[in-house]
Structure 1
Amino acid sequence: MKSETGTATINTTLPVGGMWNPIEGEETGGLLRRTFPDDAEARRMLAEASRGILSRCSDPMGPKRADAGLAIGYVQSGKTLSFTTVAALAKDNGYAMVILIGGTSLYLLSQTEGRLVKDLQLDKKRTWLHVLGPRGGGSAATKESRISADAQTIQSALDEWDDEECDPDERRTVVVTVMKHAGNLASLEKLIGKLRMPNAPVLIIDDEADQASLDGNAGSKKTTKPTATFASIDSLRSSVGAKCSHTFLQYTATPQANLLIDISDALSPSFVRILEPGDAYVGGRELFLEREKDHLRRIPANEVDDALDADAGPPLSLRDALACFLVGISADYESGFTKEPGANRSMLIHPSRLTGDHARLREWVERMKSDWLELLQDDAKVSASEERDALDSVLRKAHDDLIQTDSKLPPLEDLVPHMRLALRRTEILELNKGAPPVPWARHFSFILIGGQAIERGFTVEGLTITHLARSRGQGLADAIQQRARFFGYKRGYLGRIRIWIDDATREDFKNYARHELDLRGRLEPIAKNGQPLRVWRREFLLDPQLRATRRNVLSRAVKQRRLNEEWLTLDRPALSGDDLLENRRLLETISAKLSFQEDQGHPDRTLEQRHLISDPLKLSDFMAFLADIRVSDSDQRDLLYGAMLQLDAYAEKHGGDRPARIYQMGKGNPRDRKITSGKIAQLYQGRNPRTGMPIYPGDREIMVRDEPSLQVHVLQTKDGAFRQIPAFALWIPAKYAVGTLVQSGAS
C-alpha cells in the first residue's frame, strides 16, 4: 500500500482582493516547485491562496499600519505549509522580517522549525537569515549578552534594506522562531527594541493561535491583569508597531476562542481566511458523519476505567485494536511497504491525562506483545494450544474487519508468517511531558501511549489505529477536537484506519463535525467578499453538550440552547419608542400579507380563547417575519437569534419551502396582562377547566406540533399604562432541534 501525501490550500473561489496585490517571486516559486514538482495546478492554487492571505496584510508600499488576521484550517490539514508559503511570498514582496511564534513546548517548536527550515531551505539559502529566538536558561547577564549578539546579527541583515547599493534580490529577510512562552517573548521584545527597523513591514505568525496566546483573565471578575503570555505578545506587537508596519497572522484549526473574544481585544482578528485541505485529507465529516460505520469502533462505557481500577488486565477493546494494528503492519511487511523511505505506521493509545494510567497501559501492551510473540512461533505445542486458538480468533476478527474497507488486504494466512517480525520491530513508547521526540527513522511501526503531550500540534506519522478512552472532561469543543490526531492526509491508507472510542466522545466529535461545517460556511462569505470580521454576527450551531471554548478568555457571555419541541417565550416585549412602533407595523404587515381562518375548538370557548391561524407559509417567509421582531431584552434577542439559527439550519438541509404557521391570539384583540419591570407576569392563558375534558387546552397547546408556529399576542394592562403591546412566542418542533451558540452583545 503506497503512502499518499497531501497539502493545504485555501478555497480558490476566494478573490485575491484586499488592500494590495502581492506578486509571486523566486522564493515562492521555488518553494512551490519543490513541494509540487509535477503538479502545476497545485502550485497555482497554493500561490493564489497565499496571495489571498498576504493581500490582507500590511502593504510594503502603503502607509504604516498594524493589523491582525485569522487563518482557519482543519486539524492536521497542513497549516504549516500555508504559513511557510505566505512567509516566502512576504519575502518576495519586501517584508524584512518574519517572526514565528511556535508551540508551547520545545518539542512542538522544534517540529515546526524543522518544517520551516526544510520548506524555505533556511539552512541552504543565504537570502534568509534564520535566528533562533530566546530559549530561556542561563543567568541574566548571559541572556542579555545573547540578546545583544542576536541584535547585532539581525541588524546586519536589516541594514541591507536601507542600502540603495544593495541588490534588492540579495537583501536578506530575517526569520525569528520563538516558543510561545512569556519569558522568551519578553526577551524577544527587548531584542526588537535594540533594532533600527527599515521601511519594510514585519509578519508575525502565531501557530496554534487559540492556545496560550489569548488573555486567560479576560472573563475574570477578580482581576483585570492580563495573563503573562498574552501581555508579552501584546508588548511585542507594540514594540514592532512603534517601528514599522506589521500584521499579526493567527493560524488555528479550532478558532472558537479567537472568534469570540471581544472585538476590542488586542488580538481580535480584523480579517479571516478559510483554509481548505487537499483531496487526500480525511477529517471529521468523513470519519464521523459519512463513514462512521466503516471506521469507528466502540469502547464500552467505563471499560478501561474498570480494568484500571481492578488491575484485571487489558480490556477487550484494546486487544481488538492491537490485533487490527498487527494485521495492518503485517500486510505492509508482506507488500514490502516497510522498505519505502520514510514509511511509518503507528497506533495511538490515549487513556487519560494521568501518567500512572499510561504506565499501566504500557505494561498491558508490552505483556500482550510478549505473549503474542510466543504464541506465534512455529512450535507444535504452541500451535495446538487453546491460547493460540484464541489468538487466531482475535486476528481473524481483525482481518475480517479491515478487509471490509481494504479490499487489497492479503489473506490472513499470508500475513501470519510476518507477524512475529512485525511485532518484534514495533516500539512501544510512553509519551508524557519532557519525553524525547519519537525516533521515527528508527523503526517502521510504533505504539504511542500518552495524554496531553500527544494532543495539540503533535504529529503522529502513519497513524492507523487509535484507542481513545480519555473522558470528555469539561466538554470544551476546541480541546476535544485537538485530540483528533487520527485526522490528516490519510487517503492512501484510509481503509486501514480504525478509531476505538466511547459513545459520549463519539457524539462529541459528531457534534463538532456539524458545528465545524456550519461555522466555516458562515465565515466563508466574509472571507470571500473581503469584509472585516466585525460585520459577522457571533452566532453558529453548537450542541449545548459542548462548550465552545474556555470561559476565562471571553469577556462577553455566550448563550447556548437547543429548543426541542418547546416554546421560546419572549416575555420582555418592546414597550415604547421605535421598537414598539416596528412591532405594531409588523402585525399590520402579517395581517395584510397572510390569509387567516378561525382555529378549531370547543364551541363554548370565550372570545379570548378563539384564535386565527394562517394558511401554511414558507419557512423562508416565516423567518423573514421573525427577523423583524423587536424585543427590549438583549438576552431574549440572543435566544431569538438562536432559534432562527435552528430554523435556518433545517431550511438549509431540507429547503426553505417547508410549512410554518402564525397565530393571532384572541383574533388580535387585546388581552389583559400584568407587566412588571418590563416583564409579562404570565403570557399564556392556562387550561380551562384544569381537570377533566377541557373547553380550552391552554395557549401552550395552540400550535401545529410538527411545524414552526409563532403566536402573536396583543396586550394591555388594566391600569391603562400600556396599550397595544405586541408580544410573541415561538414553537420549535422536535425535528428542528439543533444546538446553537449566540454571543451576548455581539453584532
Structure 2
Amino acid sequence: MPNIFRENEHQVIQIVQTLLHNTPDKTQITIQVLNEKIDLAILLDPKYKDNLDREYVIEELIRRYSVWIGQDNILINESGHIPWLTNERKKEWKYWHRYKQWQDKKLPWVALKALDDSTDRILGLLEDPERTDPWDRRGLVVGHVQSGKTGNFTGLICKAADAGYKIIIVLAGMHNNLRSQTQMRLDEGFLGYETHPDPDKIRIIGVGNIDSGVLRPNYVTNRTDKGDFSQNLAKVAGISPEQRPWLFVVKKNKTVLQRLHKWIHDHVATTTDYESGRKIVTNFPLLVIDDEADHASVDTGEQGFDEGVPDENYQPKAINSLIRQILHLFSRKAYIGYTATPFANIYIHEQAETKHEGKDLFPESFIINLAAPSNYIGPSRVFGVNEGENKRKDQLPIIHEVDDHNTDEGKAGWMPTNHKSGHKPYHESEFGIPLSLVQAIDSFILACTVRQLRKQGDEHSSMLIHVTRFNAVQTEVFEKVDEYVKKISQRIIRGIDNQDVLSRLKYLWEDDFIPTNIRMNEEVPDLCSESLPTWEAVEQLLPEIMEQINVRMINGTAKDALDYADSVGGLKVIAIGGDKLARGLTLEGLCVSYFLRASKMYDTLMQMGRWFGYRAGYLDLCRLYTTTDLVKWFQHIADASLELREEFNLMIDSGGTPRDYGLKVQSHSVLLVTSPVKMRNGKKLLLSFSNSLNETVSFYHDKEILEKNFNSLKYLVNKLPKPSAIPSRKGNTSENSNLNIERHYYWENISYTYVINFLEQYTTHKESYKVNNVLLKNFIEKMVKKGELTSWNIVLKSGGLLDRPVNISESITVYRAERAINGRHNDRYAIRKLLSSSDECIPLSNQEWEEALRLTIENAKKNPDKDKKTPTVPNGISTRIVRGKGIENISNGRPEEGLLIIYLPEDPNNLYPNSDIPFVGFGLSFPFSHLDEKVEYIVNNTEWEMNYDSSI
C-alpha cells in the first residue's frame, strides 16, 4: 500500500533527534529511551500518534545512532598561510546555520558534526577573505565515490560566503546533466531558491524554507538545460561591491570558460598590476570549487623544464589553461579540487607555471582525505578485504558474475568486449537480451517492491545498465530492455498470461533474495535491514510497482537530472547509458547495476562504480551483475585504495607533504592509475619502489621460461651460505604462522649482489607491468649508490602441499604453496596474492613488531571501510615504515636492508602444462626511505590504449 503515513513518522523522528541532540554518550540511547522520547514528541501534537508505526520509527532512529565516522586526515604545506578561523569569527554566520538546520532533517547527528568539522578544517586552510595582500591557496579534497562530496562542498560554500568570499565558481563536470544536477543541489543547499531564467518562475526551496529573507545570494547560472554561463547571461550580469556573494555553476567547457574569463576580465578586473601590466581583480576574493577535479582540469601535455625552471611559453591544454587564467585574474584566490580519484592531479608537476596562466593546479597547500561514515558502502565493503594467500573476507553476497554477454573470448556475442560503434547486439534468448540481464531487471522489480513495503516508496530507486560507450549501441539496448519491461508490465498489471513471469520472479525471490537477506543479517547486521516481507505481499503489490517503472537512456541533457527533483513520489527508473553515467552523475537510490564496461585504469573503474555510496534500509536488495574480470579488478583496486589511504595516514604522522603522497601514488605496484594522455609515441613514468611490496602474481607456463626461473632460484640458493631457521620472534612462532618455521629457510645480511643476480636471470610476465625484473633491478642499483638496500634478508618459504616437495639443492627441500587461480588465462597462471599477511614481519625484533602493530591498529581506527575487529598482526605498510624509520628513542631504522621472500605457488585443482617444473614466485619488500630515487618506465601508446585507456 502507498506510504500515506510517512511524513507523520518523519516528523516524530526529527523531533526525537532534536531531543537527543545533547545526549553526551550516544551509546546510552536504548530502545526504552527512544520510546520515552517518542511519547514526548506525541505530546507536542496528538496527530503524530495517528497510525504511527512506532516500530519503523525506532528502527530508523537506531540506524541513525549506530553510525560512526573516522577522522579526516590532512597533509599540509603551511608556507605563506596565516591561521585565521576562530570561534569568534563564526558567531554571526547565517548561510551555514540554515544549511546545517536543513541537513539535520536527513543526516545522523554524528555525520552532521563530521561535516561541520571537515568544512571548518578546509576553510581554515584557505586564507581569510578579509586579508587584503595577495594570496593563493590550492588544495585537494579526496572523498570516496558517491560518499557525499557535493554535500561537503555545499557546506564549504556556505561557510565561505559567511566568511566573506564574494565570487564563488563551481566547475561542475563536462556535461549538461551533471552541471544541472550540481546547480540544483546548490539551489537547495546554498541559494535557497530555484534558479530560473524567468524571475517570475523562481520559487523558494531547500534552505530557503528556513530563511529566505536577508539570505539571498546572487546567481548567474540556472538549472535549465541552457542555464550555463552564456553570452546573454554575460550581458545582464554585473558585479557590484555589496555583501551578497555571487555563484557561478559552469561546465568545464572551452567556450563557457572563455566567456567567463572574458566577462571577469572586462567587467570585474578594475586594477592594473604594476609589474606585469595585467588587469586583475583585487576587491573580490575568489573561491573556485573544481568538482571531479581529476577529469578535464589536469593538463595532459608535458611542460619542459630547463634545470628545474619551467618553460614559461609552454601552452597547456585548453580547459586547464582557462581555469588557470581565471585564477590568474585574481590577486586573492583559493582553488579546491574535489575527487574520489586524485591520481591525475598528483601527476601535476608542483613547479609547473607559465607567464600567461600562472601556476598549475597541483594541490601544493594541502590534501585532505575525508573519512567516510561506517554506513558508507565502499569498495572494501562490496568486494571484501584481502587476507593473503588468495583469501578474501567480508565480500558482500550481492555480486553475480555474468558471462552470457559474449563468446569466443569476447570477440562475438551480444556485447563483445572490443565491439565498435556499429555493433548490433543480438541474443538468441526469447527476450533478445542475455538471461543475466533479464534476471537483473527482475531483481530491480523485486527491490522496488520491497522498498515500497518497507515505507521507502517515496524515495527514488534506480537501475544502471552500463554495457557500452557508444550511443548507437545504447539505443539498441534501450529498445530491447524497454520492450521487455513493457511486455511483462502488461502481463502483471492485467493479470493475463502472467504465470511464467510470476514463477520466474518467485524463483528469484526464493533462490536469491531470501538467502541473501538471511546471510547479510548474519554477517553485516549493522548494514542490513529487517527481514523480508512475504511473497504474497510482494506479489500483491507488483502491478502497482510495474506501472511506475520506466526505462530511460541517459544522453547528457539536464532533463536526466531534473526528473529526480521534479518527480512526485519516488522515481523508479532503469537508466541505460555510457560515459554520461560513468562520472559524477548521481543515480538516486541505485539498487541494481548491470555493468560490462572494461578498463584497467584505477580512476576510470572507481568512477564507474556508481553502486558505492549509502544504502540505508535496502542494502540487502542491491545487486551487482558484472564480469569475473571486473570483479577481479575491483578487488584489486579495493585493496590498493585501502593501502593508499593507510599510506596517507602514516605520511601525516611522519610530517609528509602533498608532494610525498604524489610520489607514493605514482609508484604504486598495482595501479597504473590514470591514462597519462593520448600520447603519440610514449610516456615516461618515474617510479619509486621505496616503502612498497612488489610480488609476482602472473607466471608464464612456457617450459623454457619455467626452467629459466627455477634455475635462477637454484643458482641463488647454491651460492648462498648455509641457511638458518627463521628467528623465533613475536609473529614468527608456529601459532602465528601458517606452517612450522622449520620448513622455511632464512638468510640474514646477504649482499645485494645476490638479489641483483637473481633478478637478472628471472623473467617476469609481461602482464606484470610494474613487478618487472629489470625495473626492480635498476631501482636496487640506484638505491645502493645512495647507500641503501645494500644488505638483504632472504626467505625461502614452504607451502602446505606436502605431497609436492621440490628439491632446490642437496640439503634444501621445500613444498609448493597452494594458490588458487585468479581467472583462467591461456597465456599465464594468475593468482591474487603470493605472500602471507605476516611474511613481511619476519625480520622485525619484538619491539619493532609491537610498534608496527600499534601503527596498524591506529590506522584501522581511521578507516570505517575496514573490518571493525582490532588487528592482531602488523600490516605490510606499518612493517615497512618501522623497518625504514626505526622506533623513536629506541632503535634506528634500517633503510639499507631489503627483504626477498620466495614461494613455489601451485593450484592443485588446475595444473598447467609443464607442472612438473615449479612456478617460482617472489616478493620484494622495500623499507621506508627518505630518498627520492626513481627509475624510468616507458609505456607506449598502444599499450595504454589496449590496457588502460578510456574515453572518459
TM-score scaled by structure 2?
Answer: 0.56
**Distance 1:373-1:191 versus aligned 2 partners, 3 A rule:** closer
Paired position in structure 1 for 2:184: 114
Given candidates 122, 138, 153, the residue that maps to 1:53 is 122
Matched, 1:22 2:90: no
Given candidates 641, 661, 670, the residue that maps to 2:793 is 661
* Secondary structure of residue in 2 paired with 1:328: helix
Computed over aligned residues only, the root mean square deviation of the Cα atoms, in angstroms, reads 5.0
Shift of 1:391: 5.5
**Distance 1:400-1:314 versus aligned 2 partners, 3 A rule:** farther
Q: Distance in 2 between matches of 1:269 and 1:614?
A: 49
**Distance 1:319-1:214 versus aligned 2 partners, 3 A rule:** same
**Distance 1:500-1:268 versus aligned 2 partners, 3 A rule:** same
Given candidates 296, 299, 306, the residue that maps to 2:413 is 306
**Distance 1:201-1:148 versus aligned 2 partners, 3 A rule:** same
Tell me the number of residue pairs that the alignment of Structure 1 and Structure 2 aligns: 617
Letter in 1 for 2:550: E
Q: For residues 397-430 of structure 1, give each alpha carbon's deviation from its aligned partner in whole angstroms, at most 9, with x where no partner exists.
A: 3443554345521121221122122112211111
Are the counterparts in 1 of residues 779 and 934 from structure 2 also a CA contact under 8 Å?
no
Structure 1 unaligned blocks of 5 or more: 161-170, 568-601, 645-659, 664-691, 698-704, 711-725
Are the counterparts in 1 of residues 180 and 558 from structure 2 also a CA contact under 8 Å?
no
Q: Distance in 1 between matches of 2:438 and 2:925?
A: 36
Correspondence list, 1:315-326, <5 A: 315-326=434-445
Are the counterparts in 2 of residues 58 and 201 from structure 1 also a CA contact under 8 Å?
no
Q: For residues 83-107 of structure 1, give each alpha carbon's deviation from its aligned partner in whole angstroms, at most 9, with x where no partner exists.
A: 1222222223232222211111122
Letter in 1 for 2:451: D
Given candidates 289, 292, 302, the residue that maps to 1:208 is 292
Correspondence list, 1:357-436, <5 A: 357-376=473-492, 382=497, 389-390=503-504, 392-404=506-518, 405=520, 407-434=530-557, 436=559
Matched, 1:73 2:140: no
Correspondence list, 1:330-341, <5 A: 330-338=449-457, 340=458
Are the counterparts in 1 of residues 602 and 674 from structure 2 also a CA contact under 8 Å?
yes
Paired position in structure 1 for 2:328: 238
Q: Distance in 1 between matches of 2:671 and 2:344?
A: 14
Letter in 2 for 1:275: L
Paired position in structure 2 for 1:557: 685
Given candidates 239, 246, 255, the residue that maps to 1:183 is 255
Q: Distance in 2 between matches of 1:552 and 1:662?
A: 39
**Distance 1:217-1:198 versus aligned 2 partners, 3 A rule:** closer
Are the counterparts in 1 of residues 181 and 558 from structure 2 also a CA contact under 8 Å?
no
Q: Greater CA radius of gyration, 1 or 2?
A: 1
Matched, 1:129 2:218: yes
Q: Distance in 2 between matches of 1:261 and 1:76?
A: 25
Letter in 2 for 1:191: W
Q: Distance in 1 between matches of 2:164 and 2:748?
A: 49
Q: Percent sequence identity over matched residues?
A: 21
Q: For residues 354-395 of structure 1, give each alpha carbon's deviation from its aligned partner in whole angstroms, at most 9, with x where no partner exists.
A: 22332332233233323423543676x836x66764554345
Q: Which deviates further from its counterpart, 389-398 or 204-213?
A: 389-398
Are the counterparts in 2 of residues 349 and 449 from structure 1 also a CA contact under 8 Å?
yes
Paired position in structure 1 for 2:154: 84
**Distance 1:371-1:182 versus aligned 2 partners, 3 A rule:** closer
Q: Distance in 2 between matches of 1:455 and 1:420?
A: 32
Given candidates 342, 347, 351, the residue that maps to 1:260 is 347
Are the counterparts in 1 of residues 282 and 332 from structure 2 also a CA contact under 8 Å?
no
Q: For residues 477-516 of structure 1, give each alpha carbon's deviation from its aligned partner in whole angstroms, at most 9, with x where no partner exists.
A: 1011111111112132111111111111111111111111
Q: For residues 41-64 of structure 1, give each alpha carbon's deviation from its aligned partner in whole angstroms, at most 9, with x where no partner exists.
A: 544432221121122212335542
Q: Distance in 2 between matches of 1:642 and 1:324?
A: 56
Given candidates 630, 637, 642, the residue that maps to 1:512 is 637
Are the counterparts in 1 of residues 426 and 433 from structure 2 also a CA contact under 8 Å?
no
* Secondary structure of residue in 2 paired with 1:261: coil
Q: For residues 668-717 of structure 1, give each alpha carbon's deviation from its aligned partner in whole angstroms, at most 9, with x where no partner exists.
A: xxxxxxxxxxxxxxxxxxxxxxxx997899xxxxxxx996799xxxxxxx
Are the counterparts in 1 of residues 462 and 590 from structure 2 also a CA contact under 8 Å?
yes
Q: For residues 428-453 of structure 1, give each alpha carbon's deviation from its aligned partner in whole angstroms, at most 9, with x where no partner exists.
A: 11112447325231563111111111
Paired position in structure 1 for 2:721: 611
Q: Distance in 1 between matches of 2:643 and 2:808?
A: 46
**Distance 1:64-1:395 versus aligned 2 partners, 3 A rule:** same
Correspondence list, 1:154-233, <5 A: 154=239, 156=240, 159-160=241-242, 171-194=243-266, 195=268, 196=270, 197-199=281-283, 201-218=285-302, 225-233=315-323
Are the counterparts in 1 of residues 449 and 542 from structure 2 also a CA contact under 8 Å?
yes
Shift of 1:350: 1.0
Given candidates 610, 613, 618, the residue that maps to 1:488 is 613
Q: Distance in 1 between matches of 2:530 and 2:437?
A: 24
Are the counterparts in 1 of residues 488 and 501 from structure 2 also a CA contact under 8 Å?
no
Given candidates 251, 259, 269, the residue that maps to 2:338 is 251
Shift of 1:261: 2.3
**Distance 1:392-1:78 versus aligned 2 partners, 3 A rule:** closer
Paired position in structure 1 for 2:46: none
Shift of 1:662: 5.1
* Secondary structure of residue in 2 paired with 1:481: helix
Letter in 1 for 2:398: H
Are the counterparts in 2 of residues 203 and 248 from structure 1 also a CA contact under 8 Å?
yes
Paired position in structure 2 for 1:31: 99
Q: Distance in 2 between matches of 1:728 and 1:13?
A: 29
Paired position in structure 2 for 1:167: none
Q: For residues 261-294 of structure 1, give each alpha carbon's deviation from its aligned partner in whole angstroms, at most 9, with x where no partner exists.
A: 2222311111101112234321111111154341
Are the counterparts in 2 of residues 518 and 541 from structure 1 also a CA contact under 8 Å?
no
* Secondary structure of residue in 2 paired with 1:276: coil
* Secondary structure of residue in 2 paired with 1:459: coil
Q: Which deviates further from its counterpart, 119-128 or 317-326?
A: 119-128
**Distance 1:360-1:127 versus aligned 2 partners, 3 A rule:** closer
Letter in 2 for 1:20: P
Shift of 1:337: 3.5
Paired position in structure 1 for 2:574: 447
Shift of 1:727: 12
Paired position in structure 1 for 2:881: none
Are the counterparts in 2 of residues 348 and 447 from structure 1 also a CA contact under 8 Å?
yes
Q: Distance in 2 between matches of 1:175 and 1:8?
A: 33
Paired position in structure 1 for 2:71: 11
Structure 2 unaligned blocks of 5 or more: 1-55, 194-211, 271-280, 306-312, 353-359, 385-392, 416-424, 521-528, 700-713, 733-745, 757-772, 785-791, 796-806, 813-834, 844-895, 906-920, 927-931, 937-952
Given candidates 366, 372, 375, the residue that maps to 1:280 is 375
Letter in 2 for 1:325: F
Are the counterparts in 2 of residues 58 and 65 from structure 1 also a CA contact under 8 Å?
yes
Correspondence list, 1:90-105, <5 A: 90-105=160-175
Paired position in structure 1 for 2:851: none
Letter in 1 for 2:361: L
* Secondary structure of residue in 2 paired with 1:364: helix
TM superposition outliers: structure 1 runs of 4+ over 6 Å: 1-10, 13-18, 133-138, 541-545, 605-608, 618-631, 641-644, 692-697, 705-710, 726-729
* Secondary structure of residue in 1 paired with 2:441: helix
Q: Distance in 2 between matches of 1:410 and 1:329?
A: 13
Letter in 1 for 2:377: V
Are the counterparts in 2 of residues 466 and 486 from structure 1 also a CA contact under 8 Å?
yes
* Secondary structure of residue in 2 paired with 1:539: helix
Q: Distance in 2 between matches of 1:729 and 1:525?
A: 21
